Amino acid sequence: MATGDGAGGQTTVGVQIKFYRGVKAIANFLEMHPDTVRKLIRQGKIPAKKDTSGRWVLVNLDYYQSLQG
């Protein structure tokens, strides 16, 4: 559901927070090849972090916020 007051062109969107664990899950979410995801994570272009078991984890909200600049 999106809401907005028209002022400043801002819209508020309700987003369910989801966690993607592992490069394959992140690649599936982003519709990219796993090798591309690994490269973009190394370059800091995908805001993923390692969990305690060493797997990459991406929170969808972090990703959406990274797209805003």
Tell me which residue of 45, 49, 41 sits closest to 21, measured CA to CA. 49
How far apart CA 18 and CA 60 sit, in angstroms, is: 6
Domain range enclosing 38: 15-67
- Choice between 6 and 21, residue whose per-residue pLDDT is larger: 21
User: 27-67: per-residue pLDDT in tens?
Assistant: 999 999 999 999 999 999 999 999 999 999 999 999 988 98
**Does residue 1 form part of some domain?**
no
Q: Give the total number of structural domains in the chain.
A: 1
The answer to whether position 24 is within a domain reads: yes
Please indicate, yes or no, if residue 48 is contained in any of the structural domains: yes
Asked if the structure places residue 34 within a domain, the reply is yes
Please say whether the beta carbons of 19 and 57 come within 8 A: yes
In a domain, 9, yes or no: no
- Confirm whether 62 is domain-assigned: yes
Q: Has residue 54 been placed in a domain? A: yes
What H or E segment, with its residue span, contains residue 65? helix 60-67
- Residue 13's pLDDT band, with cuts at 50, 70 and 90, is confident
Q: Is 22 exposed, middle or buried (0-12, 13-18, 19+ CB in 10 A)?
A: middle
